[in-house]
Amino acid sequence: MDNKDMIPAIEGGKPVREVRIDYGRQWINQDDIAEVAKTLESDFITCGPKVDELEHRLQEYTGAKHAIMCCNCTAALHLAALAAGIGPGDEVITTPLTFMASANCALYCGGKPVFADVDINTYNIDPKSIREKITEKTKAVVAVDYTGQCCDFDEIRKICDEHNLILIEDAAHSIGSSYNGKVLNGKVGSYADLTCFSFHPVKTITCGEGGAVLTNNDEMAKKLRMLRSHGMERNHDLFIEECDENLEGIWYYEQQMLGFNYRMTDFQAALLCSQLNRLDSFVARRKEIVARYNEAFKDLDGIIVQKEIPESDTSRHLYMIRLDLSKLKCTRKQFFNAMSAENVQCQVHYVPVYWMPVYRKMGHKKGECPVAEEVYSGIMSIPLYPKLTDADVEDVIAAVKKLVNWYHI
């Protein structure tokens, strides 16, 4: 390296690479496109045979008894909260280090999100903090597998059982991960009361916009299906009221509860079925990249690596570096902008949910979850997606090392 290569691009040096890379990116191939095209030429383009096929395949992949496809994960979380019986006044405990949808699902039902703090090493919700936040009104826990790593589910399950709480797993990051605890075991989707997936383009597999809710509970599955489609029943044998002669035609469908239109289209399901064929290879490539990053950063003074727990066999959705700001003479924002100048686009996941104006108006205040705030102050997500080449990965590592070197005290 000559001198010029050591100077950050933001300070007038040469960037580590010319072509910009983003922190996440989908991978659509010709097979995916062909599957979508086939469905577009078929009889069904909204909820049809491909959605059925996808639900079966997700059940098979995860081991869950039921999978209900939805238009996105936010809708899936809303339906899960309703299936959990959340209503006005009920409290739902979740983490602040998440996308806001994990908490918003309680608000949609008139419930109240309560934020438990996170573990300083794993950044996942801390079971000890869950215990502290439980009241008479607590009804459910929304545990988020942050970055794809499973939460401490043995402990969380125990807490839920002791207090009669429903466990909802926001698995937007963790499709393909498994949990191997002492009590709970299995692929993500198979062990929580309700598990929600996202298929947004930055997530592990995608169909543009999409989600799913999984459960082993037959009653909940029935309710989820009904709520997904207006709360209506078409099967006359399952009507809850007698039909008089005005309603006896096959045209009649009975609305039994207030539902929504949260359905997925069949061409999205076709895309996702095709993506599902490559899920295991995507997961394997993500693991390779994570191993390389871990190796590169484990002894790099100034960078803190997220702790991995042995119980989680993790399909990592995000790779977080955490700056040890006591070792660096820059702010997170300066480091972030300097990475961007090196043509490596990072992102920060996430601003603590209760810092948002909507939550502040409800009385939440800065300082509520000090560990989450401390983690937030140093983190950024560096590029992680299967299409990254080994050379791309080395460029990202070079950029981080160059900046740590430059800004180190």
Residues in touch with ligand PLP (CB under 6 A): 72-74, 98-99, 101-102, 144, 170, 172-173, 198, 200, 211
Answer for the pair 259, 231: CB distance below 8 angstroms, yes or no. Answer: yes
Answer for the pair 35, 28: CB distance below 8 angstroms, yes or no. Answer: no
Q: Which is nearer to ligand PLP, 189 or 211 (CB)?
A: 211
CB of 283 to ligand PLP, least distance (A): 17
Q: Which is nearer to ligand PLP, 28 or 398 (CB)?
A: 28
DSSP letter at 250 equals T
**In the sheet where 379-382 sits, what is the strand order?**
303-305, 319-323, 379-382
Q: Which is nearer to ligand PLP, 9 or 144 (CB)?
A: 144
Q: Which is nearer to ligand PLP, 296 or 379 (CB)?
A: 379
CB of 46 to ligand PLP, least distance (A): 18
Sequence-distant (6+) residues with CB within 8 A of 121 are 306, 307
CB of 181 to ligand PLP, least distance (A): 21
Q: Which is nearer to ligand PLP, 203 or 364 (CB)?
A: 203
CB of 4 to ligand PLP, least distance (A): 39
Question: What's the start-to-end Cα distance of the chain, in Å?
Answer: 21
Q: Which is nearer to ligand PLP, 36 or 172 (CB)?
A: 172
The CA dihedral of 285, 288, 292, 293, to the nearest 10 degrees, is 60
Q: Which is nearer to ligand PLP, 139 or 317 (CB)?
A: 317
Q: Given the structure tokens 């991960």, which residue do they identify?
A: 177
CB of 105 to ligand PLP, least distance (A): 9
Answer for the pair 124, 146: CB distance below 8 angstroms, yes or no. Answer: yes
Sequence-distant (6+) residues with CB within 8 A of 62 are 186, 187, 188, 189, 190, 195, 214
CB of 138 to ligand PLP, least distance (A): 20
Structure tokens at 261: 């239109």
| DSSP H or E stretch at residue 112 | strand 112-115
Amino acid at 388: L
Q: Which is nearer to ligand PLP, 10 or 351 (CB)?
A: 351
How far apart CA 66 and CA 221 sit, in angstroms, is 6
Answer for the pair 95, 146: CB distance below 8 angstroms, yes or no. Answer: yes
Per-residue CA distances from 142 to 51, 73, 106, 145, 396 (Å): 26, 13, 9, 10, 33
CB of 73 to ligand PLP, least distance (A): 3
How far apart CA 348 and CA 350 sit, in angstroms, is 5
Q: Which is nearer to ligand PLP, 203 or 402 (CB)?
A: 203
What does the DSSP assignment read for 136-164?
TTEEEEEEE-GGG----HHHHHHHHHHHT
Q: 234 in helix, strand or coil?
A: coil
CB of 212 to ligand PLP, least distance (A): 10
CB of 45 to ligand PLP, least distance (A): 20
Q: Which is nearer to ligand PLP, 175 or 341 (CB)?
A: 175
Structure tokens at 175: 């499709």
DSSP letter at 321 equals E
Structure tokens at 188: 């993500």
CB of 43 to ligand PLP, least distance (A): 27
The two counts, helices (H) then strands (E), for the chain are 14, 15
